[in-house]
Amino acid sequence: LITGGARRIGAQIVRELHAKGLNIVLHYNSSETEAKSLVSELESSRKDSIIGLSQDLTDTGSISGLVSSAMQKWNQLDVLVNNASAFYPTPLPDITKQDWDDLMGVNLLAPLFLIKESARYLAHSKGCVINIVDIHAHKGLQDFSIYSIAKAGLAMLTKTMARELAPMIRVNGVSPGAIIWPEIEAHKNEHQAIIDQTALKRQGEPQDVANTVLFLIRNADYITGQIISVDGGRSVSF
């Protein structure tokens, strides 16, 4: 089950895991056109291997229904990838309660309740959870305080759930850096400056994140409670 799997990094995770033989439940919210297109594309290469489910993750009361619908397809859940995210600026003078509810809801509350509703199925399959965090969980982004707080919470959720759900379920995170530039026009002129802050002096690709997710699923049986930065060394650069 991959949340926010219709576009950007989520779509690449979907493609990579599907290509490696996993059956996919692709969650989406407003990206219906992209989701249906991706489902059709992957179904054409391997029949009965992917379904798309729509759900507003800020409605925590319906998350159990999303997980139940996912289970109905194959009666098994091996992996939960909490990728869905909301991202927009919230300068302090302009912050509203609605901003808090939206950003915390999608980025932190939804992953918590998805883990809660999925845990018994993941335990049965000795599966894993992978949370897509952000380097700004550790290095706050100016004017994006609520987003940064939510992602910091997701990082801690990863660590606490790794303790609580062990030994049956592994819980890890992937923390992308400069991968896909945010779709916010006012911040596009900062692109090169951010790339210059990375040790590798280049932008990463969604495939870099997808490769790390695949590693944590298939080749990391003794890794839990960890967050892997995929940021070109930005988090260790001055």
Residues identified as active-site = 147
Whether residue 35 contacts residue 104, with contact meaning beta carbons closer than 8 Å, is answered with no
Sheet strands side by side (includes 128-132):
79-82, 128-132, 170-176, 227-230
- Helices then strands (H, E): number in the chain? 8, 6
- The SS3 assignment for 206 reads helix
H helix intervals, 108-190:
110-125, 145-165
Q: Kindly report the number of other CB atoms within 10 A of residue 89's CB atom.
A: 18
206's tokens: 């969604």
Task: Return the closest-CA partner of residue 226 out of 169, 122, 134, 155.
Answer: 155
Strand intervals (E) in the chain: 24-28, 50-54, 79-82, 128-132, 170-176, 227-230
Task: Return the closest-CA partner of residue 10 out of 83, 86, 80, 70.
Answer: 83
194's tokens: 């951010």
